A = this chain, B = another copy of it.
Amino acid sequence: MPKIVDHHQRRTLIADALMRVAAERGLEEVSLRHVAAEAGVTSGMVQHYFRTKDELMGFAMAVVRERTEARVAAAAGRLGPAPAPGDLVRTLLTEILPLDEQRRADGRVALAFLAYAAVRPDAAAALRADTEGMLAFVAGLIATARPDLDAPAAAAGLLAMMEGLGVYLLGAHVTADQALAALDAQLALIFEGG
């Protein structure tokens, strides 16, 4: 199936170029022309993958979502067959937090996409589904560990804290150590307190 392989390679090539341009200039500044130049291909080829600004933004966010899912799955796998709920939640949250350059690049794209989607609610449907999935997953783990808590509220608060710490990390409002200290204090309140 040479056509499918080719498609996947090209998509990866263009996705990588898009992310490099976005990390440097900001996603809102990215154009077809910039991405084509960075990837060393024609604008027409790039246009095959995204014809509009909406498609470009959605494509970049899809790349970030796929990379994040793969990272979380790999890290969760390393916890072994029956991890403690608190360990699983901590792994999920710290794999998403922009604590190294790769995750910072992903985080900048995600933040640009959030700002973009805030005035175009339709664009955020896939991201909303992700958040709902994460909320249900984390609420289930909290309910197991702490039946006395309002698990949906605690899960929403915990994931929101992670999002906010991500924003603070990208803007250098807090250091990585401060972000991890805040997150660990919260995980202790939820999973060890009570």
Q: Which residues of B are found within 8 Å of A119, using beta-carbon distances?
A: 23-26, 108
Closest to A168 in B: B160
Q: A156-B181, A157-B186, A182-B153 are in contact. Are A118 and B127 (CB under 8 A)?
A: no
* A23 vs B181: C-alpha distance when bound (angstroms): 35
Contact with B along A78-117 (1 / 0, CB 8 A): 0000000000000000000000000000011001101111
Interface size of A in residues (CB-CB distance below 8 Å): 55
Is there a chain B Cβ closer than 8 Å to A128's Cβ? yes
Q: Which residues of B are found within 8 Å of A118, using beta-carbon distances?
A: 26, 107-108, 111-112, 170-171
Task: Find residues 4-57 in chain A having any chain B CB closer than 8 Å to their own CB.
Answer: 23-28
- Whether B182 contacts A160 by the Cβ 8 Å rule is yes
- Whether A160 contacts B170 by the Cβ 8 Å rule is no
- Whether B152 contacts A178 by the Cβ 8 Å rule is yes
Q: A111-B118, A118-B26 are in contact. Are A156 and B132 (CB under 8 A)?
A: no
Q: A157-B161, A159-B164, A185-B153 are in contact. Are A170 and B128 (CB under 8 A)?
A: no
* A117 vs B110: C-alpha distance when bound (angstroms): 14
- Whether B182 contacts A120 by the Cβ 8 Å rule is no
- Whether A156 contacts B178 by the Cβ 8 Å rule is yes
Q: Which residues of B are found within 8 Å of A164, using beta-carbon distances?
A: 159-167
Q: A108-B119, A160-B161 are in contact. Are A114 and B28 (CB under 8 A)?
A: no
Partner of A153, one of B153, B163, B166, B178: B178
Residue positions of A touching B, CB distance < 8 A: 23-28, 107-108, 111-112, 114-121, 124, 127-128, 131-132, 149-150, 152-154, 156-157, 159-168, 170-174, 178-179, 181-186, 189, 193
| Interchain Cβ contacts under 8 Å between A and B, 8 examples | A27-B115, A107-B118, A108-B118, A118-B171, A127-B171, A163-B167, A164-B166, A164-B167
